[in-house]
Chains A and B, each alone.
Chain A
Amino acid sequence: MPARARPLSPHLFIYRWQIGNSLSILHRLTGLFLGLGFVALAYWFVALATGYPSYRFAARLFASPLGGLALFGWTFAFFYHFLNGVRHLLWDAGRGFERAERRASGWLAVAGAISLTLAVWLLLWHFERL
């Protein structure tokens, strides 16, 4: 360790909170949460392969209030991570770096994720009622 304090480059907390960094953090959080969703997906495949009783147990687990909440969360996390991921890929291709474009695409990813999540769940709800 140095004997005297050296100047440090400004860290995260010195910057104003804004949409760019919020969406970046949300991308990482949804990615982590989707990692758990991957375990749930694997469990669903294993339950399906194990036979009817274990599949019925898994289906009940996913249909429980907590299971439903998790599935709803995974739907949103997926659509957000998906749309924001495409946003990142466009940046990687060198497009959309202007300030207005960055903000618009960010809000588009959020609005798109919310709409797609609601669309999927309304569809599921609608067919369950048929």
Chain B
Amino acid sequence: MTLRSPLGKVLGLGSAKSGTAHWWGQRVSAIALIPLVLWFIFSLLLLPNLDYATAHAWLHWPVSGFLAILLVGVVAYHSYLGTTVVVEDYVHGEGYKLLGLLLLRFLHVLVAGAAIFAILCIAFGT
């Protein structure tokens, strides 16, 4: 026996109106981040130092640049999903909630966009 209405069953999206998409996206990005962050930490630790020339040469290398862009993209997505839940849970006024959610989305795109643009500049610069 089920308590779900026939319409609810067909739509399958629940009260959040997005089904399991958010939950699933959080898990998929978490799995993707395991190798990406481990790569990032180990690469930085294996560099002889972090002065300008060393860091720049490291990020100029195509493999580093490519993986760094993936890292920034997936971190932004994972962080956006996580912080969104925090705003939904703790910001109660509808207006403030909407404002917070909009701000979060804009900030994540802004920060990720700036980081990816910077990585591309280093990758394609001299």
Contacts and interface: CB of A to CB of B under 8 A. Distances in A.
A42 B75 CA distance: 11
B122 A34 contact: no
A48 B59 contact: yes
B83 interface: yes
B56 interface: yes
A85 B30 contact: yes
A39 interface: yes
A42 B50 contact: no
Contact of A42 (B27, B86, B112, B121): B112
Contacts of A35: 79, 82-83
Interface residues of B, number: 32
Contact of B86 (A28, A34, A49, A89): A28
Interface in B36-50: 37, 41, 45, 49-50
Overall SS of chain B's interface:
helix
Given A41-B115, A45-B115, A45-B119, 13 more contacts: A32-B86, A35-B83, A38-B111, A41-B72, A45-B122, A48-B122, A49-B118, A55-B55, A59-B51, A59-B52, A82-B37, A92-B27, A123-B45
Contacts of A82: 34, 37
Interface of A: 28, 31-32, 34-35, 38-39, 41-42, 45-46, 48-50, 52, 55-56, 59, 78, 82, 85-86, 88-89, 92, 120, 123-124, 127
B101 interface: no
Nearest to B53: A52
B31 A59 contact: no
Nearest to B125: A49
